[in-house]
């Protein structure tokens, strides 16, 4: 498969937030402010690329040769928890400024379904290593793009006063629907 | 379990609807409804509600894992050290989900294929962690199971109404049986991802309207 198309599809047309619904909890709760949303998005992109690559290596060098594929979920989630923990320590120790801007989101990410979801999709679609790195990075960027856009759109809700009964989550869902329509509109480009 | 049965009123007998277990159960279904009340577990809600059959299989899987998980965690609540409780939840939930996934692959291979990775993603479903941390870790086994059953039923209820709406409008059928006449237009929008968001938003509006009725001045 054309690697560029893979990257483009993972960012835009098969956006993990808007067409696979992964990482919805933070997408709804953390998208109120653009800077906070961007911090969360960067953290997700970083963790996603690292964990998917690590999980690819573990899956193909350890689990498949040993016939332990049934332990996949358990091993993947442990890997993710470990990597997040290490990343948090490293960033806190060496990049304190970065830690303040997005390090605080790292503990939340362990249970972000987008992270585990990408590792599972990578196995289901039997990607190679390079493809996995590109796909996971692209998906992270796509999620970042979606949540930052959502943050920007939600800021303008002050002026429009939607029905009170929608509440925050309801109107966020409607906005996400409209955004998803827009992202799907690119489908023709990637053929 | 002296907390649940009021032994002082033997004449009226055992009144199910007055027990604490029932109250906890009812709270889970409506007030603490995972989708419309707490906004947890939205990923699977949006992803599997395109067909009623997918939604039902997913609901059963989640409810099952939820109940067993709550039972295990509440019975071990005095043994799990506080510092490692998150990891303990994670390991218990993962093991349960692996089991459910394997059973599903054998018993309902088609449904398992249709749900794809979303069965495995039950592991990171916030509902499970949420109920373990907010309820099961501090309460008796009986109450925790009632709570899990209530929340599970609330999840099932939410997924079912959304999926009935989406399948009816999008394909004109329910559970694969054609319900609407052929000339009735099928709105394909509700079969694709954006439609999932619109359906969820609409139902949040309806449920909130029912909840807030009579509250306004």
User: Is residue A108 less than 8 Å (CB to CB) from chain B?
Assistant: no
User: Is residue A129 less than 8 Å (CB to CB) from chain B?
Assistant: no
Residue in chain B lying closest to A166 (CA)? B205
Model confidence at B217, in pLDDT bands (50, 70, 90)? very low
Model confidence at B2, in pLDDT bands (50, 70, 90)? very low
How high is the pLDDT of residue B187?
84
pLDDT at B125 over 50: yes
- Spell out the domain ranges in chain B: 19-162
pLDDT digits (tens, 9 = 90+) for B3-27: 444 444 444 556 667 788 888 888 8
pLDDT digits (tens, 9 = 90+) for B79-122: 988 888 888 888 999 999 999 999 999 999 998 988 888 998 99
Mention every residue, 6+ apart, whose C-beta is less than 8 A from residue A107.
A84, A88
pLDDT at B1 over 60: no
Q: Under an 8 A CB cutoff, do A18 and B193 touch?
A: yes
Output B160 or B1, whichever has higher pLDDT.
Answer: B160
Measured between beta carbons, the chain B residues lying within 8 angstroms of A172 are 201
pLDDT digits (tens, 9 = 90+) for A139-187: 999 999 999 999 999 988 888 888 888 888 888 999 999 999 988 888 7
Asked if the interface predicted TM-score (ipTM) of this complex is over 0.90, the answer is no
Q: Under an 8 A CB cutoff, do A25 and B126 touch?
A: yes
Which parts of chain A register pLDDT below 50?
A: 191
Measured between beta carbons, the chain B residues lying within 8 angstroms of A181 are 194
Indicate the range of A41-45, B30-34, B130-134, B155-159 predicted with least confidence: B30-34
Q: Which of A73, A126, A142 to mutate to test the interface with B (most CBs of B within 10 A)?
A: A73
Residue in chain B lying closest to A163 (CA)? B205
- Alpha-carbon gap: B143 to the closest alpha carbon of chain A (Å): 26
DSSP of A24-87? HHHHHHSTTSHHHHHHHHHHHHHHHHHHHHHHHHHIIIIIHHHT-GGGHHHHHHHHHHHHHHHH
Model confidence at B216, in pLDDT bands (50, 70, 90)? low
How high is the pLDDT of residue B215?
67
Q: Which of B117, B127, B162, B208 to mutate to test the interface with A (most CBs of A within 10 A)?
A: B117
């Amino acid at each position: 498969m054309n690697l560029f198309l893979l990257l483009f599809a993972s960012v835009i047309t098969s956006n993990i937030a808007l067409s696979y619904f992964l990482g919805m909890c933070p997408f709804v709760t953390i998208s109120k402010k653009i800077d906070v949303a961007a911090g969360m998005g960067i953290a997700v992109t970083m963790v996603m690329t690292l964990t998917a690559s690590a999980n690819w290596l573990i899956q193909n060098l350890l689990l498949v040769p040993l016939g332990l594929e049934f332990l996949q979920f358990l091993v993947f989630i442990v890997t993710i928890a470990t990597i997040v923990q290490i990343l948090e320590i490293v960033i806190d120790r060496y990049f304190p400024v970065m830690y303040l801007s997005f390090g605080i989101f790292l503990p939340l990410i362990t249970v972000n379904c987008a992270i585990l979801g990408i590792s599972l999709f990578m196995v289901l679609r039997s990607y190679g290593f390079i493809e996995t790195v590109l796909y996971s990075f692209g998906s992270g960027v796509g999620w970042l793009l979606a949540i930052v856009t959502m943050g920007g759109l939600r800021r303008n809700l002050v002026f429009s006063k939607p029905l009170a009964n929608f509440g925050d989550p309801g109107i966020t869902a409607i906005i996400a629907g409209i955004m998803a329509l827009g992202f799907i509109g690119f489908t023709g480009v990637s053929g | 379990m002296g907390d649940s049965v009021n032994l002082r009123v033997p004449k009226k007998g055992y009144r199910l609807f007055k027990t604490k277990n029932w109250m906890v159960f009812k709270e889970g279904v409506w007030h603490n409804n995972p989708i419309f009340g707490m906004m947890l577990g939205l990923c699977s809600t949006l992803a599997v509600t395109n067909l009623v059959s997918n939604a039902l299989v997913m609901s059963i899987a989640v409810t099952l894992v939820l109940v067993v998980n709550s039972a295990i965690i509440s019975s071990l609540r005095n043994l799990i050290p506080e510092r490692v409780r998150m990891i303990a939840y994670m390991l218990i939930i993962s093991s349960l989900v692996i089991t459910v996934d394997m059973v599903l692959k054998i018993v309902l291979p088609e449904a398992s294929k249709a749900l794809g990775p979303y069965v495995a993603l039950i592991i990171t479903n916030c509902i499970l962690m949420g109920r373990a941390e907010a309820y099961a870790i501090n309460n008796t086994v009986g109450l925790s199971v009632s709570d899990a059953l209530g929340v599970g039923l609330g999840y099932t209820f939410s997924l079912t109404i959304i999926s009935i709406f989406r399948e009816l409008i999008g394909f004109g059928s329910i559970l694969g049986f054609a319900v609407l006449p052929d000339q009735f237009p099928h709105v394909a929008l509700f079969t694709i991802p954006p439609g999932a968001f619109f359906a969820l938003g609409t139902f949040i509006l309806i449920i909130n309207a029912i909840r807030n009725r009579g509250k306004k001045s």
